[in-house]
Structure 1
């Protein structure tokens, strides 16, 4: 079994979509191993999104993810990382296939409802940061 990290971002938590999003995840065969509601502080958000530090959207990203509560989950399933990325869809919700989480609940590239680890290495790093 493979584990991955999944975050429901402030836009989706604030619009009360969390239950429907988690239902989609569970219906896709994922097992929720750990779940917690939290709010990123600047230090943790900077560490979590360090790979984007030199990108022009970095400060806006930090402002957004620290703005309100998120829900983080450790999910488990065979091929969890690739299967979750498929369920989540493209970063830009308008380019995501129908029935993906981002197409259903995201509004733009930043407020795209969720985060999903993109590799085994990043899943481990991200789980360590948020669940230590």
Structure 2
């Protein structure tokens, strides 16, 4: 049984620079997920280090921080039944070379370090809430009912 939940998604600087933001938003909307928060922003050093804190001390940490602060991102919160797992499935594998065609990374990514999109980890309970809280204040998220929800859920 699935559960209505919220998840954090970010179109990374490479996805923004390549003009993929609209396509990515459309894919989630087409799937039936509901956008409840969005922010086009430049991530500063402190936020980047906090966001990637679990990787601090690893050899690739500095590269992650440098890349995510290299250009604007589109930070978003999506809502729906089983949203975390749904988004992760639509994104594809972290390494685009291992992602199936039809997934965001499978269709738009070529390189592990430039994989277009970030989403909360469905295998790390609470990561969605932690990431949402890092990027959004509660009053920046909108509660509303979409007219098509009756056609999406039993």
What TM-score, normalized by structure 1, do the two folds share?
A: 0.97
Shift of 1:28: 1.2
Describe the SS at the equivalent of 2:10: strand
Q: Which has the higher contact order (CA 8 A, sep 6+)?
A: 1
Supply the distance in 1 between the matched residues of 2:110 and 2:43 (Cα, whole angstroms): 21
State which of 58, 66, 71 in structure 1 corresponds to 2:69: 66
Q: 1:30 aligned to 20, 33, 51, which one?
A: 33
Structure-2-length-normalised TM-score: 0.83
Would you say how many aligned residue pairs link Structure 1 and Structure 2? 132
Instruction: State the Cα deviation string for residues 70-121 of structure 1 (Å, max 9, x = none).
Output: 0011000100011110000000001001100011122211110000001440
Where do residues 1-132 of structure 1 align in structure 2 (5 Å cutoff)? 1-119=4-122, 120-132=125-137
Unmatched 5+ stretches in structure 2: 138-154
Give a deviation string over 1:25-55, Cα, whole Å, max 9, x none. 1111110000010111000000011011121
Q: What are structure 1's unaligned runs of at least 5 residues? A: none
SS at match of 1:54: coil
Structure 1 stretches of at least 4 aligned residues deviating more than 2 Å after TM superposition = none
Aligned-residue Cα RMSD (Å) equals 0.9
DSSP-derived class of the 2:79 partner: strand
